[in-house]
Amino acid sequence: MTQKNGCALVGVTLIAVLRRWIASLLLVAVAATGAFSTMVLQNLTIRQEIALSNTIANSTISCTVTDAKGTDSGNLQMISAFVEMLEGKRRLRGCYLDDYVKNVRATAEMPLGKPAGTTLRRILSIDSDPALSQVEGASVLFFDDWTEESLRGLGQICLVPSDMVTEDGYITISAEMEEPVRLKIIGTVANGPSNVIYCPYFMPWEEGISVAFLTDSCSFDIRDNQNLEESKEYIYKWFVQPNLSNQIDGMTFGVLVHDETYQKNIEEIQANLSMLRLLLPILIVICGCIGFFASFLATRGRTKEFAVMRCIGIRQGKIFGLVMAELTVLAFLGSFLGIASGILLEGEIQTSALLNAALMTGIFLLGSAIAALRITSVNVMTLMKVED
Amino acid sequence: MNSLVAKQVTYEYRNAVQTVKAVNGVSCDFQQGLVYALVGASGSGKTTFLSLLAGLDVPTSGTIELDGESTANMNRDSYRLNHVSVIYQNFNLFQHLTVLENAAYPLYVRKMPKKKADELAAEKLVQVGLKEDQFKRLPNMLSGGEQQRVAIARALASGSEIILADEPTGNLDSTNSSNIVEILHRLAHENDRCVIIVTHDPAVSEAADVVLKMKDGKIVNG
């Protein structure tokens, strides 16, 4: 019963809040603006952080091996050991380049005496040869259970143009200075070059013997964009930056890291992020100050009212409680409206953005709490002398 | 309450230059059923003395006793809530509460059920001459005289035995002044309250049962 009766005082206090609707509306607007603006800015920041990590994780930074001047990437004459090293099949002088690179693509060509007028092209993957890419229009059809993966392995197998398919499924080839070798046909190439036979890059020429081919073209991707600079530094140990070298000796090769677009995107996002990270605390301070002083001044402006309450005999603590009840209702209403508007605008809300809104509400309440404490701790006689 | 007694009450405060004795060794007693007028020039200490009687501050020395018990030993909030009501020249009503809510406010503070509090307050408002259709109005929709009646109704509703009025007619015209004085007199004589009025108005002091004149912080005719 006591609690219910005590509600009469709280009830009329809250009704008075409604009757002071202009002041109440202003306080709600201040609380809502603080919660809304910090929440939206926090959300923008989080979105940019996600965009940054997505760009880093999902971007492909490709690298093309060139001659030392960087002018030719199609006729490298590079020993295949480099490719083996990039692929992780060979480690040289403690270098583990496959920790830094992935998706290695390489081709090596050899003119064949038989079938006459044909070329044997060794590829690491279908992507290695532009003619086989879908862009160029060629299509590869694998027989039975053979897959593209076979080309990455080790075996005497090949892909041939459709008109070279034999009845027994094998084709015999021979190059100058080499013994003829019989390759199993594992698929055909339609709409591609009519005189090129494709085989795995690491195909043994004879059982157990691998011929040292010279690589004609080679490219690969950076394995981990997060450590781009470290990766580039490591790669440059084995290649050179083409624009830094004029040396063409058949032993020195350049590498072009195609990270311009990536770097531009990252820099753009990081610039946005830096600005947002700078703006967010400024906005929090501005909104916090406005919220603090709005509630402080609104509460202090009612000094005479509190004086009359004290004069009637209401305890300091009770007045403080009533003021805080009023301001809590307004602060939470404002924050709720601010958050709801933010959700409507943004479609989602992050926990840290909610924490900012809570911080704004806290600062708002702190302003009125300090004002109320200051007022209620002053001598009643002094308070009664305050003019309306 | 039987009596409110001031014994050698002194109140000092310090301004920028010196310590001022606003009330200087005042002794007097106040009985129920009488109207007291506290008169004197501005700065004579009458409003400060009234504030000490109201429990708004404590005397620097001396005591104020209610039925023999020093108010210094009482909880001042409780003393103000249960024994004293103050009426001011500028009414001091809550501007965002209705007439009825203003009058019932001390009862809400005492946790009286709202319905009962409102009924009691309505009775007191009628007693001081306000009409029922005015109960739901806000104070700024009333005249000065009517606002002062609401303040008196609030004092009445609170049930305090001591009613202190600081220039209650200061902002009113002569007709409203005499009405308010009449109501205060009825409070003392019919409702057995002790009414102490600080005033400059000769009409108010002439109508009082006892006139106490203050000069330089002392009662000079007590």
- pLDDT tens for B98-147 read 999 999 999 999 889 999 999 999 999 998 889 999 999 999 999 988 99
pLDDT at A263: 94
DSSP assignment string, B28-70? EEEETT-EEEEEE-TTSSHHHHHHHHTTSS--SEEEEEETTEE
Mean pLDDT of chain A: 85
At A93, the pLDDT band (50, 70, 90 cuts) reads: low
Q: What tens digit of pLDDT does each residue of A213-248 get? A: 789 999 999 999 988 999 998 888 888 776 665 655
Partner B, chain A 160-179, Cβ-Cβ below 8 Å: none
Partner B, chain A 284-343, Cβ-Cβ below 8 Å: 304-305, 307-308, 310-316, 318
Query: Which among A202, A2, A7 has a CA at the least distance from the CA of A88?
Result: A202
- Give per-residue burial for A329-356: e unless 16+ CB within 10 Å, then b: bbbbebbbbbbebbeeeeeebbeebbeb
Residue from B12, B58, B87, B92 to probe the interface with A (highest A Cβ count within 10 Å) = B92
pLDDT at A247: 58
Q: Does residue A23 sit at the B interface (CB-CB below 8 Å)?
A: no
pLDDT at A78: 84
Q: Which of A307, A313, A384 sits opposite B81 (nearest CB)?
A: A313
Torsion of CA B212, B5, B87, B151, to 10 degrees: -130
Please count the other Cβ atoms lying within 10 Å of the Cβ belonging to residue B21.
16
Dist CA B96 CA A85 (whole Å): 85
pLDDT at A114: 87
User: Peptide bond before A161: cis, by omega within 30 degrees of 0?
Assistant: no
- Residues of B at the A interface, defined by Cβ within 8 angstroms: 48, 51, 54, 56-57, 77-82, 86, 88, 90, 92-97, 101, 105-106, 108-109, 111-114, 117, 138, 158
pLDDT at A136: 66
DSSP summary character for residue A213: P
Mean pLDDT of chain B: 90
Q: What tens digit of pLDDT does each residue of B59-87 get? A: 999 999 998 889 888 888 899 988 999 99
Query: Which among A170, A201, A195, A206 has a CA at the least distance from the CA of A185?
Result: A170
Q: Is the pLDDT of residue A348 over 70?
A: yes
Q: Does residue A6 sit at the B interface (CB-CB below 8 Å)?
A: yes
CB < 8 Å to B79, chain A: 313
Q: Is the pLDDT of residue A86 over 60?
A: yes
Torsion of CA A159, A161, A162, A163, to 10 degrees: -130
CB < 8 Å to B56, chain A: 311, 379-381, 384
Dist CA A71 CA A63 (whole Å): 14
Q: Is the pLDDT of residue B222 over 60?
A: no
Report, in this order, helix, strand and coil percent for chain B, each rounded to 5. 40, 30, 35
The sign of the dihedral angle between the CA atoms of A296, A298, A301, A302 is negative
**What is the SS3 assignment for B208?**
coil
Q: Does residue A5 sit at the B interface (CB-CB below 8 Å)?
A: yes
Q: What tens digit of pLDDT does each residue of A246-255 get? A: 655 556 788 9
Pairwise CB contact (< 8 Å): B114 & A20: no
**Nearest residue of A to residue B100, measured between CA atoms:** A12
Count of CA atoms in the C-beta half-sphere (13 A) of A272: 17
Rg (CA), chain A: 38
What residue has token string 């079938």? A115
pLDDT at A374: 86
Q: Which conformational region is residue B160 in: left (phi greater than 0), alpha (psi within -120 to 50 degrees), or beta?
A: beta
Q: What percent of chain B has pLDDT over 90?
A: 55
Pairwise CB contact (< 8 Å): B54 & A12: no
pLDDT at A250: 57
CB < 8 Å to B48, chain A: 381
Pairwise CB contact (< 8 Å): A9 & B96: no
Copy the structure tokens of residue B35: 């109207």
Q: Does residue A381 sit at the B interface (CB-CB below 8 Å)?
A: yes
Dist CA A256 CA A246 (whole Å): 15
Copy the structure tokens of residue B70: 């020093």
Pairwise CB contact (< 8 Å): A381 & B101: no
Dist CA A58 CA A51 (whole Å): 10
Q: Is the pLDDT of residue A2 over 50?
A: no
CB < 8 Å to B108, chain A: 8-9, 12
Rg (CA), chain B: 17
Least confident of A127-141, A175-189, B54-68, B147-161: A127-141
Average pLDDT over residues B42-60: 90
Copy the structure tokens of residue A192: 């591609």
pLDDT at A28: 93
Pairwise CB contact (< 8 Å): B114 & A16: no
Pairwise CB contact (< 8 Å): B113 & A4: yes
At A98, the pLDDT band (50, 70, 90 cuts) reads: confident
pLDDT at A388: 47
* CB of A76 closer than 8 Å to CB of A249: no
Report, in this order, helix, strand and coil percent for chain A, each rounded to 5. 55, 20, 25
Q: How far is A311 from chain B (nearest CA, A)?
A: 7
